Structure formats: structure tokens, C-alpha cells
Structure 1
């Protein structure tokens, strides 16, 4: 990548396994790096799993109404989740990296000011940091931002242009998403395989439209999570998410059963909880950052959109693959779809624990690159990969033992439980693969390797979609899970190949 500065001449191709063995004996050490990873990863993982767990509780309540309603809500949740990822995923990931870079630059300026430095940094050109009132100094970091104004008084709020841009973009996208879902519910659900004569169509449409009311709050919340991650603050999103999800859990039975709103009550409870979550994070952000940029020029639309487009392509590819899997399950009937919904929610909720490590890796790597600390970047990449393997194996054992008992919390339907039993080996067995796939994503984002992430995901999705169509047609429910296993395995292999390549960031860092 042109964004990277080679520290050393290129060497022979590095084995991908080198990243796992490098510093391996220190994988569980609580040294400075280990503590930093834990302090970022643990609250991030809890925040990430809080929302899927709330969806699981929604699923458990809705499962008491009936299998048709459970399957219908499963289709609607899949649509909402996947489209939200397409709309906000690029924004969250890019914002995390950019905020981490800007924040690191601010700290560098306040900690090591040049003589005569006015405290403002205005332009980055060909890896040089140009400071007004000071001589140029070479900076071997990742790309920098123009117009980053650093306030020397620690009590004043920071000026981080990407914060303003992220909030503006997420607000617009949230409104558009709500309008599209409310007005286009029927064609969207038809695309998902729910025809006009399907018993799932009416409850699915009702749930999708009501839950869409909370779309602006959802996207704003996710954008602010990316902002706080860039500051290496994952506690604030965790507390806000827990408050919102607790509200959702409390309102679910009240609206569904006390006020007899059924699945409409579940949708409204979720929307209300999302606005509470967004309000808490916005309140905290106002005290930390000046939300109004110094000028429009400082927003850096061009670079933000360029990197965002790469991840938009990646998000679309990922979403198409997962949406196709849900659609193929819906075509199997309400019973297989209900079982697929329960298995998928558990699969995603547990796998997202590894995403906490990915977030830690991204934030630490982006900050390390901005400071020119390549040793820490290399060590952090290896550490989070090793921890990902350990976490994946742990989750596989836990789910393999407990999932057959946990599934009864969501439904008492014997036919649905039979399908769930079939899916347990796939849900449990793929955990190490999922963990590595998530962590590889995080370290690539931390290195601003967005282009490779987009291209590789596009190829993986093409192959996986073909497998889904073929295997779902020939092997039904089992075929869908075999195809999803292939999908996650290909994502993991793409990460392995990247760190062993002779081009790109990892050859420069000797990972």
C-alpha cells in the first residue's frame, strides 16, 4: 500500500503462521499491551453482545406467541440487521481508525510540542507533518488529517473533524433507512421469499415497519460507538447499550402481554430503547468533543468517502451473503426458518465476542501507526490473533455442551428443536473460525487496509453465494449451514493469506 512506509528492505515471504507464534508465550500476559487490549476489548465485546442478546430475549418472548410469528420476526430482524450493516458498517470502521489517528496526533502535539509551535496541525503531505510556526518534521505514520486543531487546555473539548462527519452521515442514512423500510416493506419482504400468500408476511411487515421508527437512533448509536472506540473508550458505549437493552427487556413483556400488542410491542420496545442508547452516548460525547467543525474543509469528505466506499462494497457483499442464507431458510418453511433464526442469533451473539478483540486491535494499531510505533503495531496484531484462537476454542466447547439446553429457552416446539439440534455442530464448531475472521478484519482496518478487505470479501461472497444456492437446494437446512461454514472459512483464509503476502502492510511490519 502506498500509505505505508517500509522500514526495512523486503524479505522472503513470511509464513502466515508466524503471526501466531510471534510473542506467543506472552499471549496471556497482563503486561502494558495485554492490559490495554483487555481494557478496550472487554467492554467492547460486552457492548457488541448486548444487542444480539436483547434480540435473543425478543426471540424468546415472541417464541411464546407461535412459530409463525417467530419465523416472521426472524426474517424482519435479518433484513434490519443486514441493511443496517451496509449503511453504517463502513462509517463505524472508518470512523474508528480516523478518530484514533486524529486523537493520537493531538496527543503527540500536546506531549511533544515543537518550539514555537502554535498548537495546530494543518497539513499532511507525502508522510510529512507540517506544523504552523515550526519547521517541518518527518512523520512515518498513516495518512493524516488536515485542519486538526488541538486545544492545549485539557479542560477544553477536542476538535475532531471526523466526529462531526460521522454524526452527520449517520443521521441522514438513518432517516433514509426508516423511510425505505416503512414505504417499501412489501417488496423487501417479497424479495426475502415471503410471498403474498405466506402466513409470515403480515406479522413480518408489521414488525419491520414499527421497528424502523428507531432506525435513525440505531445508526447514530453505531456511529458514536465508532467514535468512542477511536478514543479507546469502550466503556461509554457499553453502559449506554446496557441501559438501552435493559429498557428493551423491561418493555417487551409489558407492551407484548400487558397491553396485548404482540410483536408490535416488541418492535416498539426496541425502537424506544435505541433512542435512549443514542441519547446517553450523545450526552457523553458533547462533553468530550466539539461537535461543530472549525470549517467545512476540515471534514475531509474525499478521503472519508474513498475509504468508506471500499467498506461499502465489503458490507454489501457480506450482507448479500447473509441475506441469501436467511432467504434460503425462509423458503424451507416456517419451522426451519424459526430454528435457523435461533441458531443464527446465538451464532452471531457469541461470535461477536471476538469482535471485541478486533476493535482493540484496530484502535491500537491505528494509534500506533499514527505515532510511528511499528513495533507495537506488530506486537498488537500478533497478540489479538493469539487471543482470538483461545477465545474461539473456549466458545466452541461452551456451545457444544450447553446449546442443546439453551435452545429450550426460546421454543417448546418439538419440530423446531429437532432442526436446532441439527444446527448445533455448525454453530459450535465454527467458533474458532469466526473468531479469527473477525480479528483479521480488525487488524486490517487498524492498518487502513480497507481496499484488500473490500476485494477479498467480494470474492468470498461470490463463492459463498454459489455454495448457498447449490447446497440449500440439495441438502436443505444442513446445506445452508455447510455453506455458512465455507463462507467463514474463506474469510479466515483471506486473512491468513494477507499477513503472509510479500506486499501490503504486513510485509513492511514483518508480521
Structure 2
């Protein structure tokens, strides 16, 4: 009887992507078509997604040598910037990735259908009537991708609104975050937040910007004696530099101006973007609340929290590159109704995320333990910092899986589930943050954040594991 149950369980789990985590482990890094396509998307996406957190980490490292008060102040300001920018831009980026992949799939299917019809009518494969993707001189034509045009237009507007909002509401926002009018953290936090808000996040940045930031930070902070303001100015300059480079490269391949206003598809963007807006508000509220609670514990706790948080975010977002790759390939597969490829993609990207998380766990534990003084020389800050390192390291595999599950859900256009589940997770996590921070202080905040990420990963497991929503095809 037991054997029969086990065999039935094995057979039922066969096509489940979660089962793929433990199946054929030797094929995780197989250099097949799927693996190469994932790598080609994941690597540049990871570099782009981690650019801003790494730039903030660079600022943190240099500012830490000014003093713990400045380090804590910048930590609060960065938490605010992350909250506002993610609310303004993340929903747009997420839906754009899926829409572009779907549009590309539909365009490809349309071209294949037209070519088949022409071949059936007797035209040869090299007939001029059959659509071509290249000009006579071999150069690629610019593609008209409505989703990309829409994203650029909406992103520019949202970026401008974001900057204006932060500039005029900086002081009350910081007071809400726990920095009172008589706090020594207020002035440096206000300067950094105001100057950083001048960066319109209309596009993702890459590692070239971080290199520029490394060069400019010491020049503006120490050589020009501008302190916290210099760090913010260096950050803005470096990010604008790479944004312009990316815009130039994109304009070579894609026509950024839509043929008509109808091609902007604004209604479709706002419908799905609204769901993800609720989701990102819920998710970022937990991180922002954690920073606020750390600030209320004092500048020492906030300084240590800032270092741990920036390392936590920068390393974890490497997995977001995998999430983008999985999302793009899955959106294309679902548009084509190629469920076999969708399953294979989910399996591979989850395997990669688990391996990446384990590697990051080891790297963070070793490097952060021996390089803590790179961020600050303050003994009390270092003592708290060492309490946070185990949480930053141990949660890496959990974070990787959570981010990748998000990408998988977005690729399947499962935006509603992603939004509603995140609201429930955030509500639970906020309770844990208040309860554990009051009883265990700095450590309690990190326990609550670990619970938050674990619940996010669990939500992804449940959706695919129960074969519901867009994954219902796994039952057949």
C-alpha cells in the first residue's frame, strides 16, 4: 500500500516545476538552447538590477568613514528613496518585461503564419513578399515595439512626479521615518534625500555607473569636502551617465516613438500596473518600516542596519536577474501556448536560483565578516553589524527563490495572485516587525525580515505546487 502511494506521488509530481529542483541536478548548467538564452538575459539584467543598490552600497562605504550619524542618516534617506522609486517604477518594469516578450512572440508567430501562407501559394523562401528582419545591406531594421514606447513615456512621467514629490515632501517623510527636528541625523539625511531625488528613474542602470560612482564619491566627498551632499551628487551623475548610454543603445535597435497614440496601450499598462502597484507598496512598506524602527533605536542601530540592508539587497537582487530571464522566456512560452517550454524554464530557473543563493550565502558570510571595517570604524556599530551578518548570509537562498518565484508568476501573467498574496504577507510581516523589534530590538528586526522573505518564497511554492491559476495545465 505504501509503495503504491509513493509511486502515485512520484508520477503526479513528475511535471511539477518544484519537483524539477531535485530532478536531473547534473543538467542545471547544461549549455543547451534554454540555458544559453537564460544566461544571455540574466547576466545583463542582474548587472542592471543591482547597479543602484551597489551604488548605494558604495555611498554607504565612503560615508561610513565620515561618522556613524551620517551613515545612519543616509541609511534612512536610501530607505525612503527605495520605497518611492519602487512604487513609481517597479510595476512598470515588471509588466513591460512580460508585454515585450508577449509582443515579440505574437510578432514571430504572425511572421511564421504569413510565410507559410506565401509558401503554400508557390512563392519561394527567398521571395521579396516574405517578411524579412534585415535590410539589403545586412543591418537590422529598427523594430516598433509598442510596449517599449509605452514604458519609456510612462516612465519619464513617473520619474518626474517622483522627483518633485520627494523634493517638496522630504522633511515630513524623514520625520515620519523617525528622524525628529532636533535629531543630528536630520540635516545630512535631508541633503542626501533631496539631491538623490534629482535622479529620474526612467530606465535601469548598469555596472558602468557603479564604476563612475566609485571614482566620483571620494572626489566629491573628501577632495571637495562636500560630505553627504557629495555622495548624492556623485550618485546622480553616475546614474545619468549610464542612463544616457542605455538610451542611445536602445534607440539603435528599437524605434522609441510609437507609430500612433493607440499603439501606446496605456489601458493595458495601467490595468496590470495597478495590481503590481498594490504589491510593491506592500512589499516595500515592510523594508521601509524596518528601517524606520531601526532609526528609532538610535543612530548606532540605524548605521549597522544600513550596512546589512544594502549588502542584503545588493546580493539578493542578483537573483532578480534570473527572475527577469525566467519572466521573459515564460511570457514568450505562454503566449505561444508552449507549456513544455514553460515547465522546462521554470525548472531551470529555480535550480539556478537555489545554487546562486547557496553560493551567495557562503560569499556574504565570509566577505562581510572580514570586511566590516571597510564600512565603519565605530566599535558599537561593528558590534551590532556582526549580529546582523548571520541573517544576511543565511537568508540568501530564501531570497533567491522568492525573487525568482516572483519572476515566474509575472511571466505567467499571474499579476493578481502576486498582488493579493503580497498584501497578506506584508500584513503578517508588519505584525512581526512591531512585535519582535519591541522585544528583541535590532535582532528582532532581522528575524522579522527573514520571516517576510520566507513567506514570499512560500507563496511562490504554493502557487506552482498546487497547480492552480496559469499552472493548471500541469494537471493534464
Structure 1 and Structure 2 fold alike (TM over 0.5)? yes
Aligned residue for 1:485?
450
In the alignment, is the contact (CA less than 8 A) between 1:354 and 1:388 conserved in 2? Answer: yes
The one of 437, 453, 461 equivalent to 1:496 is 461
Distance 1:153-1:41 versus aligned 2 partners, 3 A rule: closer
The one of 468, 474, 489 equivalent to 2:439 is 474
Alignment deviations for residues 154-193 of structure 1 (CA, whole Å, 9 cap, x no partner): 5331111111111111111111111111111110001101
The reply to whether residue 453 of structure 1 matches residue 435 of structure 2 is no
* TM-score, L = length of structure 2: 0.90
> 2-side partners of 1:386 and 1:300: how far apart?
35
Aligned residue for 2:57?
56
* TM-score, L = length of structure 1: 0.84
How does 1:225-374 map onto structure 2 within 5 Å? 241-374=206-339
Aligned residue for 2:203?
221
In the alignment, is the contact (CA less than 8 A) between 1:16 and 1:497 conserved in 2? Answer: no
The one of 192, 215, 222 equivalent to 1:207 is 192
The reply to whether residue 97 of structure 1 matches residue 79 of structure 2 is no
| Segments of 4+ moved more than 6 angstroms | 11-16
> 2-side partners of 1:491 and 1:115: how far apart?
45
> 2-side partners of 1:316 and 1:53: how far apart?
22
In the alignment, is the contact (CA less than 8 A) between 1:33 and 1:380 conserved in 2? Answer: yes
Distance 1:100-1:469 versus aligned 2 partners, 3 A rule: same
Aligned residue for 2:68?
67
* CA drift at 1:49: 2.5
In the alignment, is the contact (CA less than 8 A) between 1:23 and 1:383 conserved in 2? Answer: no
The reply to whether residue 198 of structure 1 matches residue 187 of structure 2 is no
The reply to whether residue 427 of structure 1 matches residue 392 of structure 2 is yes
In the alignment, is the contact (CA less than 8 A) between 2:64 and 2:71 conserved in 1? Answer: yes
The one of 169, 183, 195 equivalent to 1:184 is 169
| Residue aligned with 1:184, SS | helix
In the alignment, is the contact (CA less than 8 A) between 2:316 and 2:396 conserved in 1? Answer: yes
Aligned residue for 1:413?
378
Aligned residue for 1:47?
48
> 2-side partners of 1:307 and 1:151: how far apart?
33
Aligned residue for 1:109?
110
* CA drift at 1:404: 1.1
Aligned residues: 450
Aligned residue for 1:438?
403
> 2-side partners of 1:63 and 1:381: how far apart?
41
> 2-side partners of 1:116 and 1:467: how far apart?
61
Alignment deviations for residues 41-71 of structure 1 (CA, whole Å, 9 cap, x no partner): 1222233223322221111111111110010
Q: Which has the higher helix share?
A: 2
Alignment deviations for residues 336-392 of structure 1 (CA, whole Å, 9 cap, x no partner): 100000000111111111111111101111112223322111100011111111111
> 2-side partners of 1:324 and 1:373: how far apart?
42
How does 1:4-83 map onto structure 2 within 5 Å? 17-83=18-84
| Residue aligned with 2:142, SS | coil
* CA drift at 1:100: 1.0
The reply to whether residue 168 of structure 1 matches residue 153 of structure 2 is yes
Structure 1: segments with no counterpart, 5+ residues: 1-10, 118-149, 223-236
Structure 2: segments with no counterpart, 5+ residues: 1-10, 119-130
> 2-side partners of 1:376 and 1:95: how far apart?
21
Aligned residue for 1:391?
356
* CA drift at 1:253: 1.0
Distance 1:446-1:22 versus aligned 2 partners, 3 A rule: farther
In the alignment, is the contact (CA less than 8 A) between 1:22 and 1:382 conserved in 2? Answer: no
In the alignment, is the contact (CA less than 8 A) between 1:361 and 1:381 conserved in 2? Answer: yes
Aligned residue for 1:462?
427
Aligned residue for 1:84?
85
* CA drift at 1:24: 4.0
* CA drift at 1:113: 2.1
* CA drift at 1:15: 6.7
